[in-house]
Amino acid sequence: MADMSLNKTPITEQPPQERICNFKEVTLGYTADEAMKEAGRCLNCKNKPCTTGCPVNVRIPDFIAKVAEGKFEEAYDIIKSTNALPAVCGRVCPQENQCEGKCVRGIKGEPVGIGRLERFCADYMMDKQKQTVKPVSNGHKVAVVGSGPSSLTAAGDLAKLGYEVTVYEAFHTAGGVLMYGIPEFRLPKEIVRKEIKALEDLGVKIMTNMVIGKVLSVDELIEMGNEAVFIGSGAGLPRFMGIEGESLIGVYSANEYLTRINLMKAYKDGYETPILQSESVAVVGGGNVAMDSARSAKRMGAKNVYIVYRRSMDELPARKEEVHHAMQEGIEFKVLNNPVRIIGDENDRVKSIEVVSMELGEPDESGRRSPVEIKGSEHTIDVDTVIMAIGTSPNPLIKKTTPGLETNKRGCLVVDEANATTKDGVYAGGDAVTGAATVILAMGAGKKAAAEIDKYIKSK
Ligand code: FAD
Ligand code: SF4
In this prediction, residue 443 has a pLDDT band, given cuts at 50, 70 and 90, of: very high
Per-residue pLDDT tens digits for 91-149: 999 999 999 999 999 999 999 999 999 999 999 998 786 667 889 999 999 999 999 99
Pocket test for ligand 1, best of 153, 168, 178, 182 (most atoms within 8 A of CB): 182
Query: Does the pLDDT at position 60 exceed 90?
Result: yes
| Beta-carbon contacts of residue 432 (< 8 Å; ≥ 6 apart) | 146, 150, 231, 232, 233, 234, 235, 394, 398, 412, 413
Residues with a CB atom less than 6 Å from ligand 1: 92-94, 145-151, 168-171, 176-177, 181-182, 210-213, 232-234, 236, 258, 288-289, 292, 319, 395, 397-398, 430-432, 436-440, 442
Pocket test for ligand 2, best of 3, 41, 44 (most atoms within 8 A of CB): 44
Minimal CA–CA distance to 287: which of 261, 256, 260, 319?
319
Please check whether residue 112 is in contact with residue 100, taking contact to mean a CB–CB distance below 8 angstroms: yes
Lowest-confidence region among 138-147, 259-268, 411-420? 259-268
Q: Residue range 409-438: average pLDDT? A: 97
CA diameter of the chain: 70
**End-to-end CA, the chain:** 53
pLDDT at 126: 87
Query: Does the pLDDT at position 448 exceed 80?
Result: yes
pLDDT at 329: 98
User: On the CB side of 181, how many CA atoms lie within 13 Å of its CA?
Assistant: 26
pLDDT at 129: 67
pLDDT at 273: 85
Could you give the strand order of the β-sheet that contains 251-253, starting from the edge strand earlier in sequence? 251-253, 385-388, 280-284, 304-309, 332-335
| Beta-carbon contacts of residue 426 (< 8 Å; ≥ 6 apart) | 218, 228, 229, 231, 402, 405, 420
| Beta-carbon contacts of residue 444 (< 8 Å; ≥ 6 apart) | 55, 56
Please check whether residue 350 is in contact with residue 383, taking contact to mean a CB–CB distance below 8 angstroms: yes
pLDDT at 267: 85
pLDDT at 354: 98
Please check whether residue 168 is in contact with residue 205, taking contact to mean a CB–CB distance below 8 angstroms: no
Residue whose CA is at the smallest distance from ligand 2 atom 2: 103
In this prediction, residue 460 has a pLDDT band, given cuts at 50, 70 and 90, of: confident
Per-residue pLDDT tens digits for 356-370: 999 999 888 878 888
Per-residue pLDDT tens digits for 282-338: 999 999 999 999 999 999 999 999 999 999 999 999 999 999 999 999 999 999 999
Ligand nearest to the CA of 68: 2
Ligand nearest to the CA of 110: 2
Please check whether residue 337 is in contact with residue 354, taking contact to mean a CB–CB distance below 8 angstroms: no
pLDDT at 127: 74
* Single pTM value for the model: 0.94
pLDDT at 130: 67
Distance (Å, whole) CA 121 – CA 128 = 11
2 C-alpha to ligand 2 centroid (Å): 11
Lowest-confidence region among 263-267, 277-281, 346-350, 431-435? 263-267
pLDDT at 2: 82
Per-residue pLDDT tens digits for 40-53: 999 999 999 999 99
The phi, psi pair for 119, rounded to 5°, reads -60, -45
Per-residue pLDDT tens digits for 215-239: 999 999 999 999 999 999 999 999 9
pLDDT at 135: 93
pLDDT at 264: 87
Percent of the residues in the chain that have a pLDDT greater than 90, as a whole number: 90
Residue 261 DSSP label:
I
Indicate the average pLDDT of the chain.
95
Ligand nearest to the CA of 95: 1
Atom of ligand 2 nearest to the CA of 43: 7
Name the packing angle between helices 149-160 and 189-201 (round to 10°): 30
Query: Does the pLDDT at position 395 exceed 90?
Result: yes
Query: Does the pLDDT at position 14 exceed 90?
Result: yes
Minimal CA–CA distance to 154: which of 84, 212, 97, 101?
84
Distance (Å, whole) CA 391 – CA 22 = 27
Pocket test for ligand 1, best of 439, 441, 447, 448 (most atoms within 8 A of CB): 439
37 C-alpha to ligand 2 centroid (Å): 14
Distance (Å, whole) CA 246 – CA 4 = 53
